[in-house]
Amino acid sequence: MLDVALGLKLGDGQALSMARQKETLLDILIRLFADRLLAETRRGLPRAYMAQEEDLAALRGRLNVIRQFTHHAVRPDRLACQFDTLLPDTPLLRIMKACVLLLRRHAHAIETQRRLDELRFVLAEVRDIPVSALPWTQVRIDRTNRRWESLYELAKLFLKREWQRTDHDPKAGKGITLLFAMNDLFEAYVAALVRKALLGSDLTVHSQGGLRYCLMEEGEGGNPRFQTTPDILIKRHEQVELVLDTKWKLIGCNPEDKKRGVSQSDVYQMMAYARLYRCRDLVLLYPHHTALGAPALAIKYRMAEGGERLKVASIDVTKSIAEVIESLRELINQNLCERQL
């Protein structure tokens, strides 16, 4: 799920070989980062022209006239030069080095430590920048450095901790805690695979879109209140064909529960989406827990006092990516085909 949601682009062989090791998730991700960064540095570092100023015996570039006639007024043997040099000290590599220095303090495996030390030597020409001052806004991923994109995303995972939920005691030592918000991770995972499932069709996928309001204040102005953000909207042109909401919850485990564990608040939420987005088909999607022995959920409901339909379904995230994509494609196509019938 991390691979798909965060776009890490792990190869199946690499992921399986690493998963067999008796290491924590943090150790595995640090090793992955070190291996990939070392491979890319051996292919060559991205460089950029940097403005330099230096006092030289011979002119290089152009003369800094002000400095020459103030600092070197009585030193004709020294020339205040301004020139551009092709250096690896780019914003992207400053972020990479900051990540290497951070991970070196937390790597436990001897081989991983050795690789990170080698990377520190390779990046010796790159300036050390504190994490709080890293030039994130200056990084531009384009066709010249596209091969560094997945490494950049991994560095963001470690340095910015956008996906992590951590509680840090100021008295405690500095560390890294990988605690992912599983509801957000599951949503990003499903959204990425739904895009692949609908590739080549006239349907488009919109994550955290819509942003319509439930209520408008009465009176002059009519300010909107209570904005909605459906997890996934599937549109054909501008028409919403399907609203898909993901929930990372244990569901369908109690055969005596007629509601199958579906929360009443989740149903109310989907009813609001049906009204606001004028959509007749909605899906509540949960992870399927194979350990419980029950089959995957596929329960259909029709909303009272209306023609909207809600399907409660589950997918097995332990299956291969191709199988999950096919399951999602079938789920979406079934809803759209049933509407036509």
DSSP secondary-structure letter at 163? Answer: S
Contact 39, 180 (CB under 8 A): no
Res 165: pLDDT? 52
Tokens of 180: 């992912």
The per-residue pLDDT for 305 is 84
Q: What backbone phi and psi angles, to 5 degrees, belong to 138? A: -90, -10
Stretch 152-171: mean pLDDT, rounded? 67
For every residue of 180-209, DSSP letters joined together read B-HHHHHHHHHHHHHHHHTTTSSEEEEET-
Q: Mean pLDDT over residues 253-264, rounded?
A: 77
Domain ranges of the chain: 17-47+89-159, 49-87, 182-215+224-340
Handedness of CA 286, 291, 292, 295 (dihedral sign): positive
Fold of 182-215+224-340: tt1808, chain A (3.90.1570)
Question: Element (H or E) spanning 19, and its range?
Answer: helix 12-19
* Contacts with 226 (C-beta within 8 Å, 6 or more apart), sequence order: 213, 214, 215
Query: Tens digits of per-residue pLDDT, 92-148?
Result: 999 999 999 999 988 888 999 999 999 999 999 899 999 889 999 989 888 888 889
The pLDDT of residue 88 is: 86
pLDDT single digits (tens) 290-341 = 655 667 788 899 998 888 999 999 998 888 889 999 999 999 988 777 655 4
Query: What distance in Å separates the CA atoms of residue 194 and residue 240, rounded to the nearest whole number?
Result: 15
pLDDT at position 38 is: 93
**pTM above 0.85?**
no
Nearest-5° Cα angle at 274, 295 to 309: 40
Angle at 209 between CA 204 and CA 214, to 5 degrees: 130
Write the pLDDT tens digit of every residue in 36-61. Answer: 999 999 998 888 877 788 898 888 88
Residue 7 has pLDDT above 80, yes or no: no
* Beta strand extents in 195-341 (DSSP E only): 203-207, 213-216, 224-227, 232-236, 239-246, 281-287, 298-302, 309-315
Mean pLDDT of the chain: 84
- Phi and psi based region of residue 193 (left: phi greater than 0; alpha: psi -120 to 50; beta: remaining): alpha
